[in-house]
Amino acid sequence: MTNPFIFDPRDPESKFPYGAVPAGTQVRFTVRPPRAGGYSRVILTARFESRDNAVVERILLWHGIEGARDVFTGTLETGEYVGLVWYTLRLEGLDGRSAELGKYQLTVYDDSETVPGWFGEGLTYQIFPDRFRRRAIPDPTGMVGGRTVHQSWEEEPVYLPDEHGEIRNRDFFGGSLAGVREKLTYLRRLGVETIYFCPIFEGVENHRYGTGDYEKIDPMLGDEAQFRLLCEEAHHLGMRIMLDGVFNHTGYISRYFNGDGSYPSEVPGAAQSTESPYYPWYHFTHWPDRYDSWWGIYSLPAVNESESTYLDYIIRGENSIVKRWLRAGADGWRLDVADELPDSFVHALHTAAREAKKDAVVIGEVWEDGSNKIAYGVRRKHILGGHCDGLMNYPFRNAAISYLLGGDARWFRETMEGLRANYPSTAYYSAMNALGTHDTPRILTLLGVGSPCTEYPKSWRADFRMSEEEYARGKARLKLGAVLLYAFPGSPTLYYGDEAGMEGFEDPFNRRTFPWGREDSELVSWFTALGCIRSWSQALRKGDISYVEADGPVLAFRRTWEEESMLVALNAGAEPASLPLSGPMKDLLTGEVFPAPGARTMEAALPPCTARLLVPLRLHLACRAKETI
């Protein structure tokens, strides 16, 4: 029995307050069964999961009649509890009949800290450092790892195994921090407010997710002085810097594990001596050749995050890694594989980050609904307060791509409203929303071709380039998806080069070099216009969201902040559609005014594969978006 007219957990008329609630909130429940059902009592059963699954029952009292319905209402005290509450509603009749609604999730969080708003409001740009911009061809001599450097920026990344059957990721292109500094004004023109770097610390692989030395910027990228200068110049332009914290594992080739002896032996690594200060950081089943590693990948030995000396080094020490790089100029951390880090570790890291910089932000990599994620048998506390301020929003990506490829807009709304109901508002508005990342196929290719094409050999995907028809289709869908991305609550996150028309399937084809001088100028202008609108529109930066329509290919929602309102309308279908309006409106993307002169109805036309950002004509704020497109 799930009739929303009886009880809808996402309707404030049924459950108030809406969504997740701070600890100490008294939550009111109202159930409205039809009088013809003959129900005389409603019992709320609530299970407080983090309180040893303690069960509380509350009788909802009859409150009166609304039309043909009885009204039962009652409250549940949350007290000092923080965690998930799972509840059901049992309707009982005098004749012994009963019906049950639920189970439903209630998220109770700790709101004792203020989450900085800067991250969620502005545009984030993700950079894979080796592939964004290089100033000169670097010389890898003396660098750890046996690296090679592509002489041409336009060459293809290596994807084939070496003579030992291993994919080593030791081919570099030489992107650098100096190269990023050279393009800071370009990023600012795009509307970027946060630059999120994939790992920049010394590491032998081009992705640098196997950290060799947390205390050193990788020498191919630059040094600490270059990093500080980059942060200073970015701050001067109104941009912040977010670093990738890879703390679940280190590199096999690192000063800590030192599996091949590449690092100086004055302080031996864990694989060199059981007396090494780093030995307790790892779990050996047979020293030195068998040990825990991330997903069984030998080159990424897993660390024991509960080891006291590791905690001191990464988090707790006065000059810990987390604090040191924030003091050097970084503004936040994105935590790699956050759900594989103990909650206690994430909490300690969050505390240290705020100590080092009071408005530092911590964002976690989680691929699912982070409010109820279970990892390694433990319900995680990611967004319950004092842990992650926000999460990477892969549910948004999945729902958006499904919609753009022909799925029903209702499913997008249902998925996003499920997150909004489960997440604390601060976490929902601090989400890192993206259509593509370094871990997914290029969004342009995915939208143009329609799938990741994993049924074909990897060599086929390596050589694949879209036809003109596929490129045009992907581009049209990407422009539509970009409007959705930039208009949605949370930080729109742009993966480097998506605005330039980069294509490719999975790693490493999604990590090709930025095509400087060969960009798709129409796409760059489109993203620049959206960045402009996002930068000044308070409604898009922090406004409420309410859905106007979600039916088949048409998706429309309104963002509202104080007196400013923006109506976002998309038609992902192949047939024209229209959207009723309550008054004259102007599309910021085209300059068109609706209704059109002479029109008989108050509506906005939505041609196939079209998006509009509509503002009331009387309140139109000049952005000159049309000229930038």
Helix, strand, coil content of the chain in percent (nearest 5) = 25, 30, 45
Q: How far apart are the first and last CA of the chain?
A: 51
Q: What is the largest CA-CA distance in the chain?
A: 85
Residue 492: which residues within 8 A CB-CB, separation 6 or more?
Answer: 123, 124, 433, 434, 485, 486, 534
- The residue annotated as part of the active site, out of 365, 470, 498, 587, is 365
d(CA 120, CA 102): 32
Residue 228 phi, psi dihedral angles, 5° rounding: -60, -40
| C-beta separation of 89 from 43 below 8 A | yes
- Whole-angstrom CA distances from 382 to 46, 143, 376, 392 are 22, 37, 14, 11
One-character DSSP codes across 185-202 = HHHHHTTEEEEEESP-EE
Residue 432 phi, psi dihedral angles, 5° rounding: -95, 95
- The residue annotated as part of the active site, out of 110, 171, 336, 498, is 336
Query: Tokens 């790699």 label which residue?
Result: 336
Query: Tokens 């997150």 label which residue?
Result: 419
77 is catalytic: no
92 is catalytic: no
| C-beta separation of 221 from 135 below 8 A | no
Residue 463: which residues within 8 A CB-CB, separation 6 or more?
Answer: none
d(CA 427, CA 390): 5
d(CA 493, CA 425): 19
Closest CA to 130 of 184, 201, 69, 73: 201
One-character DSSP codes across 340-395 = GS-HHHHHHHHHHHHHH-TT-EEEE--SS-TTS-EETTEE--TTSSSS-SEEEEHH
Residue 241: which residues within 8 A CB-CB, separation 6 or more?
Answer: 194, 195, 197, 230, 231, 234, 329, 330, 331, 332
By annotation, the residues acting in catalysis are 336, 365
